[in-house]
Amino acid sequence: MELREITKKQYEALGISERVYEFGEKIWDGLKERFDETDRIAECNQLKVINAMQESRVSEACLMGTTGYGYNDLGRDTLEKVYARVFKTEDALVRPQITCGTHALALALMSNLRPGDELISPVGKPYDTLEEVIGIRASKGSLSEYGVSYRQVDLLKDGGFDYDGIKEAINDRTKLVTIQRSKGYQTRPTLSVKRIGELISFIKGIKPDVICMVDNCYGEFMELTEPSEAGADMVVGSLIKNPGGGLAPIGGYIAGRKECVENAAYRLTSPGLGKEVGASLGILKDFYQGLFLAPTVTAAALKSAIFAANIYEALGFEVFPDSKESRHDIIQSVTFGKPEGVIAFCKGIQAAAPVDSNVVPEAWDMPGYDAPVIMAAGAFVSGSSIELSADGPIKPPYSVFFQGGLTFPHGKLGILKSLQYISDEGIAKIY
Ligand SMILES: *Cc1c(COP(=O)(O)O)cnc(C)c1O
């Protein structure tokens, strides 16, 4: 009892009223079993990562970096072995020279496709930034400029795969299929590893030599297995999301079949050089330690998302995914139906940040968006979306997207703080 009183005082010092705190406690009490399952998945994945580090013989020397060309960079080469073991692939490319998730995906695509080839997305429109990589929106240096064509098969209305449409779309030129695991900022369901596996077997049944790539952003460590164990030839992601564990300050990875990874390495550096160059500078300790922490960090983000869904659903708002459904990524959306809700939510998230908590976020006309966007992030790594962050476009249906939380207590504080703002503004009433 004493512990609870002390905790309540701490929340009070951070501007959380007793009413909001008690409401949060009630919701949290109902989630213990669900959180236990999340912790068990984290436990399994933690063991998987430790095992991969031990089997790859990670040593203290691996934490050092190289400069210049980076020949014989033991730490870099060993880290790539660790990633290959974690994702159960033949090889991996894990580099600070891969600047972000979009870059990693562009690299995987551009290095494995040749003029005249065709790329297919059988799961609808890909992530916004890939539109310019592919050339769906005209852009300098796009795949389209290099003579790679693109076809898209949308998901069915019920979220299922359009198997007939996919079969029809696959042709002689089909070289690579890109499958986005996370819904990103769309409203379709995120794909489970099992569903990705079913899709890949269907595609390989029609054309066995097609390369199946999975955009794994936001999905790593959400389940016990990764899409690379369900038939994907390449899985690709960003280190400032899940696998960087909040510590990696930059970077991306491509794990997959040897030939696919080799192609990517020759494109990242140069034909003839490939994986042999690329100094790791002083960054490896953060890459290793981040991967080590990633299973529990992603579990914390997942629990924060589940907590948010349960809080806001209980208050009558539409949440996606809903409070009960199974989850395969860390993104949560809440629909407020009016701009004030989105703004108050983001102000609350910002006010809970360890960095820049005194900054008040405002909506602005960001390049590339058709409505003003408000963003909240007080992160140690700029733009990191494994850290607690939220954003939303100021347009109907006035939804906010929320993700991250390096620890559950921080995620919980963020949600309670958002609720404090929402309730102070009279947008929701807590009973
Ligand atoms: C974040 C994300 C990307 C792009 O990653 P950046 O690091 O922002 O470039 C691509 N696909 C999905 C599904 C993502 O969530």
Q: How far apart are CA 104 and CA 129, in angstroms?
A: 12
49-72: average pLDDT: 97
Phi, psi of 400 (to 5 degrees): -115, 145
Instruction: Tell me the best of 238, 328, 331 to mutate to test the pocket of ligand 1, counting ligand atoms within 8 Å of each CB and taking the most.
Output: 238
Phi, psi of 328 (to 5 degrees): -130, 5
Cβ–ligand 1 contact at 217 (below 6 Å): yes
268-284: average pLDDT: 97
Q: For the sheet containing 399-403, what is the strand order? A: 318-320, 332-335, 399-403, 389-393, 373-377
Q: Is the pLDDT of residue 369 over 80?
A: no
Cβ–ligand 1 contact at 100 (below 6 Å): yes
pLDDT band at 368 (very low <50, low <70, confident <90, very high): low
The answer to whether the CB of 203 falls within 8 A of the CB of 212 is yes
Cβ–ligand 1 contact at 391 (below 6 Å): no
pLDDT band at 138 (very low <50, low <70, confident <90, very high): very high
Q: How far apart are CA 266 and CA 286, in angstroms?
A: 25
- Fold classification of 3-44+295-424 is Aspartate Aminotransferase, domain 1 (3.90.1150)
CATH architecture for residues 56-291: 3-Layer(aba) Sandwich (3.40)
Centre of ligand 1 from the C-alpha of residue 80, in Å: 21
pLDDT of 189: 87
Q: How far apart are CA 304 and CA 320, in angstroms?
A: 14
- Residues shown for the chain: 431
341-358: average pLDDT: 97
Question: What tokens were used for 53?
Answer: 């580090």
Q: How far apart are CA 242 and CA 117, in angstroms?
A: 32
Q: Which of 352, 340, 349, 363 is nearest to 428 (CA)?
A: 340
For residues 424 and 370, which has the higher predicted lDDT (pLDDT)? 424
Q: Is the pLDDT of residue 68 over 90?
A: yes
Identical fold between 3-44+295-424 and 56-291: no
Cα separations (Å) of 74 from 254, 259, 391?
19, 22, 40
Q: Is the pLDDT of residue 78 over 80?
A: yes
Indicate the domain borders of the chain. 3-44+295-424, 56-291
343-356: average pLDDT: 97
Instruction: Tell me the best of 103, 129, 328, 330 to mutate to test the pocket of ligand 1, counting ligand atoms within 8 Å of each CB and taking the most.
Output: 129
175-214 confidence digits (pLDDT tens): 999 999 998 878 788 999 999 999 999 999 999 999 999 9
For the chain, give the percent of residues with pLDDT over 90: 95
Q: Classify residue 187 as exposed, middle or buried by CB count within 10 Å of its CB (0-12, 13-18, 19+).
A: exposed
Q: Is the pLDDT of residue 1 over 70?
A: no
3-state DSSP assignment of residue 8: helix
Shortest-distance atom of ligand 1 to CA 130: 10
226-251: average pLDDT: 98
Q: How far apart are CA 11 and CA 201, in angstroms?
A: 50
334-360: average pLDDT: 97
Q: How far apart are CA 418 and CA 349, in angstroms?
A: 6
